[in-house]
Amino acid sequence: MAPYPTDEKGHVYCPYCCRKFVNRYNLKVHVRDKHEDNSMDLNCQICGKTMRNQSCLRVHMYHHRKQRLEEAGIL
């Protein structure tokens, strides 16, 4: 991975949107998920929303699970 701007605490910044990350791995995942055009167009089986990749779908599904638990009074 090419060198990216860092601050005094060692945080790295996305060259596309300037979002700050605590390490290069998190930056790499962010760039892959948000800025690279490798979309797979995966649809949520619950609400039908289209996600760019498996990682985004996984995060999206977490919100559905959390919502169901809240509605059941578990959270």
pLDDT at 55: 82
Beta strands in the chain (DSSP E): 12-13, 20-21, 42-43, 50-51
pLDDT at 33: 81
3 state SS of 51: strand
Long-range own/partner contacts, residues 10-16 (CB < 8 A, 24 or more apart):
none
Closest CA to 1 of 26, 18, 19, 20: 26
Question: Would you say residue 1 has pLDDT above 60?
Answer: no
Run of H or E including 26: helix 24-30
In this predicted model, what pLDDT tens digit does every residue of 8-59 receive, in sequence order?
888 999 999 989 999 999 999 899 888 887 667 899 999 999 988 888 899 9
CATH topology for 7-36 is: Double Stranded RNA Binding Domain (3.30.160)
Q: What is the pTM of this model?
A: 0.55
Domain boundaries defined on the chain = 7-36, 42-71
pLDDT at 2: 53
